[in-house]
Structure formats: C-alpha cells, structure tokens
Amino acid sequence: MEYLLLIGGLAVLIGGGEVLVRGAVGIAAKFKLSPLVIGMTIVSFGTSSPELIVSLKAALEGSPEIAIGNVVGSNIANISLVLGLTAIILPIPVAVATLKRDWPIMMFISLLFFVFILNGILDNWEGFIFVGLLLSYIIYQLKSSKKSDEEKTEIIKQHIFVSILFITVGVIGLAFGADWLVQGAVTIAKNFGVSEHIIAVTIVAFGTSVPELVTSVVAAVKKQMDISVGNLIGSNIFNILAVLGITAIFKEIPISETVISNDIFWVLGTSFILLPLMLNYNISRWKGVLLFLSYLLYVFFLLQSI
C-alpha cells in the first residue's frame, strides 16, 4: 500500500504542479511580464509548490528529516540533475541578468541558509527573515521587469478564468499528492530501516523536482531558454526562502548532523560551480554532462553512507 501511496503521490504532485504552472504563467502573461521574470518568479514558485506542501506537512507531522531533506535534495537536483539533463538535450544560452543578478542572489541565500542551520535548528525568527527576503525578491523582480527593455512575450494564451481554474485544480492536486507521498515515504523508510533523511534527499526530492524537470525540458524544446535557467535558479531561491521560511514559521525545524556536515556543502558546491559554467553565457552539452555526473556522484556517496 505504501508503494501505491508513494507512486500515486508523485503522479498527482507532477500533474498538480504542471497544471498550477500553466495557470500561473497564463495569468502572468496577461500582464505582459518578460519570459525571464516569469521564470524567476511565477514558474519558480509554481514548481516549488510541491516542496512547500511536502515540507510543511512533514514538519507538522513530526518528520523534520523529510522537511529539510526534501529542500536540500531538491536544490542539489535542480542544478546538477535537472539543468544538466536539460543542457544535454539542448544547449542553454544564459541571460546577462541571470549571471550578474540572479546567480549572486541564489548564492547569497544558500550561504545565509548555511549560517542559519549551524546551530542545529531553523528557528521561527529565521523563517520570518526568509519570508521577508522572499517578498523583497519578488518585488525586486517585478520592478526589474518594468524597467527592462527586453521583449515581452505572451507565453500561454488562455482565458483568465481558465488560468484560475488551472491554479485551483493544481493546488488541490498538490495537497493530496503531498499527503500520499509523505505517508508512503515514511512507511517505506521504517519498513527497510532506511533513515528518513536518505528517503527525503533521494526519492522525495526527486519527486518534488519533477515539475522543474518537465518545465525546463519543455521550455528548452520551445526555445524559451530564459525560463529554463531562470526557473531553476529561482526555484532554488524559493525552496529556501518560501519552503523553509514558511515551514519554520509554523514549526521550528531541527537540522541533522548529516545535513550540516555533508549535504549543505553539496548545495553550496553545485550552486557555486554553476558560475564558471555560465561565464561564456552558454551551458553546452558537455557542461550538462558534467552537472549530471556530479548528481550521480552525490547519490553514490549518499548510498555509501547507508
């Protein structure tokens, strides 16, 4: 039964995330926001919504390892796995703003996350700081969009009521999917004697990163490349500021020694390595292979610790 819950939860999360993104981008397009800003805000928040629901539910139900591991694993997977596979399929051009503005923000947020968890707990007040930074980040992106001279492209043409319907269905799907996924993951971990942390940073993190993978690959195929890169960087920012921020406000999150001594350095490392790979404003196929191999290396070392 737990496997049905896990698979069913993943399927519903993927579907809910996809529908939510379509609705959100449809509404954003009505306001003629640029593809880059849509990717950095609306799409990123939509594809991060599975992480938010899963982490919040896990923390409230006494599974903090899943709450924190979900975000840590997702941030590692977004850059190394999702961006790597996307670049392998089609080389990705990098916008100037992504390199000079968005990457530094992601790196700063990741370092701040590292500082906050050094004492072994993510406190309520730190959650409020994260959410405050999140609101500032969204406002900054929207203001940057208005000042930008880049072409405004309508990504999805659909009636606003259809977009609202998509968002409603997506939110409902995410709620049910997260419930089933957490139940299945916790049960499987207990049955096999595997730590919740391992389950969280692999199965759960991969499952909640699937919307990012689908969105980025589709965007790459459609040559909306700003959405591909912007979505992933923005998603990592949202994972920390929104997912952990909101979760910590509701319930303080204890941080395991494994996260502090190992996983956080993979988060920082994969975030940092993205900088030299973007310096020529292009993530080629061989760079995608390098990123993908780094994810396999992370999983290999993770499994060695079992």
Q: Which residue type does 249 have?
A: I
Q: CA–CA separation, 228 vs 19, rounded Å?
A: 17
Q: Specify the pTM.
A: 0.78
What is the domain class of 2-304 according to CATH?
mainly alpha
The percentage of residues in the chain with a pLDDT greater than 90, rounded to a whole number, is 27
The C-alpha R_g of the chain, in whole angstroms, comes to 18
Concatenated DSSP letters of 81-109: IIHHHHHHHS-EE--HHIIIIIHHHHHHH
User: What DSSP designation does 280 have?
Assistant: T
Three-class secondary structure of residue 152 per DSSP: coil
Residue 296 has pLDDT above 90, yes or no: yes
CA dist 225 → 23, 35, 163, 217, 232 (Å): 20, 9, 23, 10, 11
| Contact of 10 with 210, CB cutoff 8 Å | yes
pLDDT bin (cut points 50, 70, 90) of residue 151 is: very low
Note the pLDDT of residue 200.
Answer: 80
Domain locations along the chain: 2-304
Output the average pLDDT for the chain: 80
Quick one: which H or E segment has residue 283? strand 282-283
pLDDT tens by residue, 78-129: 899 989 988 988 888 888 878 888 899 999 999 999 999 999 999 999 999 9
pLDDT band at 298 (very low <50, low <70, confident <90, very high): very high
CA 62 – CA 57 distance, rounded (Å): 9
SS (H, E, C) 156-217: CCCCHHHHHHHHHHHHHHHHHHHHHHHHHHHHHHHHHCCCHHHHHHHHHHHHHHHHHHHHHH
Q: Can you tell me the distance from the alpha carbon of 263 to that of 231, in angstroms, rounded to the nearest whole number?
A: 22
